[in-house]
Chains A and B, each alone.
Chain A
Amino acid sequence: MTNESGSAAFVEAWQTLAQSMGVRLPALGPAREHLEMAQKMSDLGLEFQRSYAEFSAHLSGIQEQAMRTAQKPDIGAAYDEWIESAEAAYATLAHGATFSRLLAEMINTLSAMKVQRGKLLEYFSRQLDLPTRSEVDSLHQQVRLLREQLRERGATQGGAKRGAPRRSDPRRSGK
């Protein structure tokens, strides 16, 4: 048994033991940073599944309620009536506080997952020497700042004078 596989087996044994005791092991060692990110991502995935299930359960009675109110004998009319009833049942729920709370929980978890995914991508992009989102953002901010400065300079030099359009028509000028 090599040292590496020995330590992996040791960690696995610890994890199994910790799981059986309901203890969650923190990410440790040189890979701590990205393991922690992955762990958080996995937690958020579970949290999203839970919130999605709760939200779906909250909506589950609508179709049944709509079926109970559908009365018309003609198929087309009955379908339209069913749609109306379903919308009415849905609207009652959708305007309620519980619906808004569950929806917000679900969207907030999804947002947290996207942020976490961004952090993971950022980490791996750095390892591969690829441009990262934060570097691109930083460049955008610099360009914006430069443009603002340029515009301010143009304004103070009279570039914003009335009667002098700032740009020519790109189509007419063939730009």
Chain B
Amino acid sequence: MTVADESVAAMFRLGEQFQRNSLQALQTLGELGDLPVGLSEKLCVHREDKINLYRYVPIARSAGLPPLLICYAMVNRPYVLDLQPDRSLIRELLSLGIDVYLLDWGYPDGADRFTGLHEYVLGYLHRCVEQILNAHAAESLNLLGVCQGGTLGLCYAALEPRRIANLVTMVTPVDFKTPENLLSKWVQQIDIDLMTQAGNVSGELLNVAYLGLMPFRLTQQKYAELAGMAGDRARLENFARMEKWIFDSPDQPARAFAEFVKWLFQENRLINGSFELGGRPVSLKRILQPVLNIYAARDHLVPPSASVALGAHIGSTEYSELAVDVGHIGMYVSARARTTVSGAIAHWLGERAEARGKARER
């Protein structure tokens, strides 16, 4: 047999091995069924239309901090923050003694078609904040806004600054027109009014857009890598949970989606100071409370440049940044990011509470 023949034979052997491993992995995936997600124990404390406000059951001694409300994005489901017990940012925060609430926007349908962005921020989000403040007899709470939820959180903090003690933003777009922002480039010439005239925007369409950001990695390489997971049930379970989450995308309420895309992506109103919600100006300069801005250094969805713009536009003098060397989704689920982020949030909130206590004593 010549060297060339041996090479060809080796290639065939590798091909067969790849095929066997892939089939084995696919068979295991098929046997896994619907894996449970969002396992940390929680109680629904407020329900209105599609939204649910959850309070998580504590698992550690209280750190004595104001309650932390997590405002997640509307475009994906929030259980990615509590995917499984050993991959849960929420669980990490609970273990540090933080009292965690989560706002879940649910699955909007035709009845939400005409619900505007102001109703989400000044209606639903505001009523959740009020609910928590009432339950704790408190004047203000800590807000953690994640991704699009961070943008909504910034709007709320700018409109109702007294109710937010400290604001944490995570992978949050602020400047929607930085050169690295591919999604933004794509939507500039899209007729959003026409798109939403036909009703809510389907989650499937949004998924196609996300996959289109890195199509070869996300539609080919990711699945080719399954062969390497053959026989490793735990890794395949992780894969299955992520796969479930990635494609579990709620439809977007037509009016709110149109306003978000037009006012922020196309007109960049948050940055140029022309943003209004419910007839009230949303000025980032009104955000005077301490802000911790956490972003992913390798984010392909919300580029770092879109997030770090926040520092230059808020009124607060207490502004900190934390860059984590992960991608957008890695920020929620990678082990390194989870511990770094939860630790940083708890530490930063603790410092702010201490500083506030000292200021009161004076």
Contact = CB atoms under 8 A, between A and B. Distances in A.
A152 interface: no
Interface string A119-138: 00000000000000100110
B131 A165 contact: yes
Interface in A41-90: 75-76, 79-80, 83, 86-87, 90
A112 B195 CA distance: 7
Nearest to A63: B216
Secondary structure type dominating chain B contacts: helix
B214 interface: yes
A153 interface: no
A164 B134 contact: yes
Given A87-B214, A87-B217, A171-B44, A163 B134 contact: yes
Contacts of A99: 186
Given A83-B216, A83-B220, A144-B114, A165 B134 contact: yes
Interface residues of A, number: 42
A115 B11 CA distance: 52
A111 B182 contact: no
Contacts of A108: 189-191, 194-195
Given A165-B131, A169-B44, A103 B199 contact: no
A94 interface: yes
Interface string B125-142: 001001101110100000
Interface residues of B, number: 42
Interface stretch (B45-53, B267-275, B345-353): B45-53
Given A83-B221, A115-B197, A165-B134, A100 B47 contact: no
A165 B44 contact: no
A104 interface: yes
Nearest to B135: A165
Contacts, number: 99
B1 interface: no
A94 B187 CA distance: 12
B188 interface: yes
B111 A140 contact: yes
Interface in B212-254: 212-217, 220-221, 224
Contacts of B281: none
A169 B197 contact: no
Contacts of A83: 216-217, 220-221
Contact of A115 (B130, B189, B198): B198
Contact of A111 (B113, B185, B191): B191
B60 interface: no
Interface string B88-120: 000000000000000000000011011100000
Interface string B62-96: 00000000000000000000000000000000000
Given A83-B216, A111-B198, A104 B190 contact: yes
5 contacts: A86-B216, A108-B190, A133-B199, A165-B135, A172-B43
Given A115-B194, A140-B113, 6 more contacts: A108-B189, A108-B191, A118-B198, A160-B130, A165-B131, A170-B47
Interface of A: 75-76, 79-80, 83, 86-87, 90-91, 94-95, 99-101, 103-104, 107-108, 111-112, 114-115, 117-118, 133, 136-137, 140-141, 143-144, 160, 162-167, 169-172
